[in-house]
Amino acid sequence: MRILKDFKIPDLKFPKFNMKEMDEIDEVKVDYDKLKKVEENKNKKSKKNYEGTSFTTVKEMFIHSSKEYADRTFLLEKFNPKEDWTEITYNQFKNEVIGLGTALTRKLNLKDTRVVIIGENTNHWYVSYMTMLCGAGIAVPVDKELPENEIENVIKRAKASAVIFSTRKADVIKKVAENLPDVKYFIQMNSSEEINGRFVGLDYLIEEGKAIYNGGDNSFMSIEIDPEEFKVLIFTSGTTSNAKGVMLCNRNLAQNVNAATAYVKLTPDDRLMSILPLHHTYESSIGFLLPFGVGASISVCQGLKHIVPDLQETKPTALLTVPLLVETLYRKINANIKKSKKDGLVNSMIHVTNALKAVGIDIKRKVFNEIYENLGGRIRIIVSAAAPIDAKIGKWVEDIGILFLQGYGLTETAPIAALTPDFDTRVGSAGKAVVGAEIRIDNPNENGEGEVLISSKTLMIGYYEDEEATKEAIFEEDGKRWFRSGDVGYMDKDGFLYITGRSKNVIVTQNGKNIYPEEIELLLSKHPEIKECMVYGKEVEGEKELTITARVIPNYEEIEEKYGKDLDEDAVYKIIWEKIKEVNKGLTSYKAIKKLEIKHDEFVKTTTMKIKRFEEIKKK
């Protein structure tokens, strides 16, 4: 992954909340006699894993789901907010995959070659990726936000024989094509153009492939998949070096589905909304392959500014997202509740419904129906991953009746390594090792913290053309391959993992003390006056010790509401500094923030909304 310039969560719009009193909600009928039978009515949910799936390859999963759920909706998408949603069934999707796979292998002779996929989340992206995994070749998903020169560089590094690209990337691809003589074909999504030199439309290929298949050529579907064979190449972000290429196999991806279904119960009635970019394994594995494996559907968000209407129109049951978006939803919904002067009522309803739920009476969906309706009406799960999140926000999500799950992993683990079971949630934890994985803490300190080591069936083959980097990251012990994650954390007595920092981000003091910025950032983010922040060790000329510095984007909307309008920069600085002083009181002296920098533009971020620290630190 690379940086996404000027990434900004839009100003999500929610209407005023009326929030009826509990005795005004017609459907809330509580038999308070049940409260006397606490033990009888307690939710005795089993804490055993679900049976889950047992796919060995993605192609096995593709064949199973295409047949089992043929007439069910797989995907909903639209390209214009004024248009209706297009629904694509599993059977339609299967036919397009077979068509494209047959055309790539029989008409274009691209079998077993590397194919770059670059573009927005659309049906054609899903079709292209699945086609590769089912035997056409090696998929190389690429970040659509890369600058022109880096797109060219990645295509060269991947030794790609073809590039499948979206219409929005057409101009860039046509420019770089001149410098890519080894690429045989450039294939444009949503185009029916016949072969014109090296350019051809993907719709044209699908139809040509269907004709070949219908004529009796079943060669594409007859391709046998070796679960261990190199099938996906993903270039992941490097902070101090060139991006590494992660090599994944079919087993890695199939095991992601198996592992997730053992911890989270999804059914064909579920619908996930696709918000994150598909080139990232978090979205392509858990946001695509997982729902496909269980017959669920996916609605493709048209873009961040369309999240609220897309939620309301497609009514998903699950959101797979990152902390920044969950935090934004939390703040916007609560700000509207506060403006409606219903915050006291909501807090009291949370207490009452929590007490009732503790004895087996769950009326949260009825009591907080208005919030649910603004999120589409059917949301039951929110999964947050890719970075730590304030436990208070996760607790609020559960307080209003939505399962809040967290996941942990890296591109190198394809990506899932730990996940919160839906039958044993622990807000604040990154989850526990998934089935088929082991996690341990290397050389823990007095607090039990150390580097997170992972041994998993989802662990990558290795880094592309970089044996040295592979040996640095992976070691063998007792017949198992272990991956050095670079993350720092600890585990509780029940095996739940808590991530406290990133070893690459650690600030080391002169006397050898380690400071993990993420820990301090979570404390800062609890103050509504702070919109976003980054903590780092600032080099000061003449000083041996790094100065612990907080770079902060103020939440001007919150500040204006609390402290008045037309405040100058000095006043804003003082307000933020007072909040920092409050945080410092709870920190040991060597962790205390010594300097504040007010930031006026957006942080440079990855496409999963994580701050690019080293890019930011370079800025003055």
pLDDT of residue 34: 52
Average pLDDT, the chain: 90
Neighbours of 26 (CB within 10 A): 8
Is it the case that residue 4 has pLDDT exceeding 60? no
Q: State which H helix or E strand residue 319 sits in.
A: strand 318-321
Of 105-109, 144-148, 291-295, which range is least confident?
144-148
pLDDT of residue 47: 80
Is it the case that residue 312 has pLDDT exceeding 80? yes
Q: How far apart are CA 362 and CA 353, in angstroms?
A: 7
Q: How far apart are CA 245 and CA 235, in angstroms?
A: 4
Q: Looking at the DSSP assignment, which residues form a beta bridge with residue 42?
A: none
Nearest in space to 536 (alpha carbons), one of 614, 450, 447, 431: 614
Q: pLDDT tens, 522-569?
A: 899 999 999 999 999 888 888 878 899 999 999 999 999 999 988 999
Of 13-27, 73-87, 298-312, which range is least confident?
13-27
For residue 398 the two structure tokens come to: 């559960």
CATH 3.40.50.12780 fits 3-41+317-501, yes or no: yes
Q: pLDDT tens, 471-523?
A: 999 999 999 999 999 898 999 999 999 998 877 787 877 666 778 888 899 89
Q: Which of 149-153, 240-244, 550-554 has the highest mean pLDDT?
A: 550-554
> 506-618: which CATH number, 3.30.300.30, 3.40.50.300, 3.20.20.80, 1.25.40.10?
3.30.300.30
pLDDT > 70 fraction of the chain, expressed in percent and rounded:
92
Q: Which of 16-20, 68-72, 339-343, 540-544 has the highest mean pLDDT?
A: 68-72
Q: How far apart are CA 329 and CA 323, in angstroms?
A: 10
pLDDT of residue 604: 87
For residue 86 the two structure tokens come to: 């297009």
Nearest in space to 484 (alpha carbons), one of 383, 574, 394, 410: 410
pLDDT of residue 173: 98
Contact call for residues 153 and 176 (beta carbons, < 8 A) = no
Residues of the chain with CATH 3.30.300.30: 506-618
Cis previous bond, 277, omega within 30 = no
For residue 506 the two structure tokens come to: 């650690």
pLDDT of residue 36: 47
Is it the case that residue 269 has pLDDT exceeding 90? yes
Phi, psi of 233 (to 5 degrees): -120, 120
pLDDT of residue 323: 85
pLDDT of residue 511: 60
Q: Looking at the DSSP assignment, which residues form a beta bridge with residue 299?
A: 76, 273
Q: pLDDT tens, 566-599?
A: 899 999 999 999 999 999 998 888 889 999 999 9
Q: Which of 16-25, 41-50, 243-252 has the highest mean pLDDT?
A: 243-252
**pLDDT mean over 140-146:** 92
Is it the case that residue 109 has pLDDT exceeding 70? yes
240 Cβ neighbours under 8 A, 6+ residues apart = 504, 614
- Residue 378 burial class via C-beta count within 10 angstroms: exposed 0-12, middle 13-18, buried 19 and up: middle
Q: Looking at the DSSP assignment, which residues form a beta bridge with residue 476?
A: 481
Q: pLDDT tens, 377-408?
A: 999 999 998 777 888 999 999 999 999 999 99
Of 6-20, 46-60, 260-274, which range is least confident?
6-20
CA distances from 533 to 328, 389, 525 (A): 14, 13, 7
CA distances from 593 to 40, 530, 537, 560, 620 (A): 51, 15, 10, 25, 18
Residues of the chain with CATH 3.40.50.12780: 3-41+317-501
CA distances from 438 to 247, 248, 258 (A): 21, 19, 15
Q: How far apart are CA 19 and CA 342, in angstroms?
A: 7
For residue 493 the two structure tokens come to: 């007595």
Neighbours of 453 (CB within 10 A): 18
pLDDT of residue 619: 78
pLDDT of residue 236: 78
pLDDT of residue 240: 31
Nearest in space to 287 (alpha carbons), one of 322, 251, 323, 312: 322
Q: How far apart are CA 262 and CA 293, in angstroms?
A: 13
Strand order in the sheet with 162-165: 199-201, 185-188, 162-165, 113-118, 137-142, 230-236, 244-249, 462-463
Neighbours of 32 (CB within 10 A): 8
Is it the case that residue 409 has pLDDT exceeding 70? yes
Please identify, in words, the CATH class of the domain defined by 58-66+84-224: alpha beta
Residues of the chain with CATH 3.40.50.980: 58-66+84-224
Q: Looking at the DSSP assignment, which residues form a beta bridge with residue 247?
A: 233, 462
Q: Looking at the DSSP assignment, which residues form a beta bridge with residue 438?
A: 455
201 Cβ neighbours under 8 A, 6+ residues apart = 187, 188, 190, 191, 192, 193, 194
Q: How far apart are CA 110 and CA 128, in angstroms?
A: 13
